Amino acid sequence: MYIEPLRNADPPIIKHDRLETFIQEVFHNYADIAIYHARLLEQFQEIQREQHPSINTITASMMDAALNFRDAYMEYIPNYPIAAYRIDDEMIRNPAFKAFVNVRVPQCSS
């Protein structure tokens, strides 16, 4: 939704010499977090298949997620203010990036 369109934009939305640094600073360890969420979704779907129509509990899956997500989120959370700053700064300096964001997140148009 964001990274590949930024990488593939022609003309570039963010200059190529700054793009990978920007992506790392903004999205940081998103891939790790996405993997954990995909696993949790798989667990929920398995619970649903096994327990439908009445789900008894998701506690074990949630506890497992909380324990396993911890390190990834402990890395992600302190980076969030950096990411927010980089996005805001780029939107101020780069009208093409602002337009790119506004297409994907319409409430950011103000």
Count CA atoms closer than 13 A to 87's CA, side-chain side: 18
Q: Which residues are CB-contacts of 59 (< 8 A; sequence separation ≥ 6)?
A: none
Question: Using one digit for the tens of pLDDT, what is the confidence trace for 9-58?
Answer: 999 999 999 999 999 999 999 999 999 999 999 999 999 999 999 999 99
Q: Which residues are CB-contacts of 52 (< 8 A; sequence separation ≥ 6)?
A: none
pTM value is 0.76
Quote the tokens at residue 65: 């997620």
Question: Using one digit for the tens of pLDDT, what is the confidence trace for 51-88?
Answer: 999 999 999 999 998 898 999 999 999 999 999 999 99
Nearest to 83 by CA among 16, 14, 21: 21
Q: What mean pLDDT do residues 84-104 have? A: 96
Whether the per-residue pLDDT at 109 is higher than 60: the answer is: no
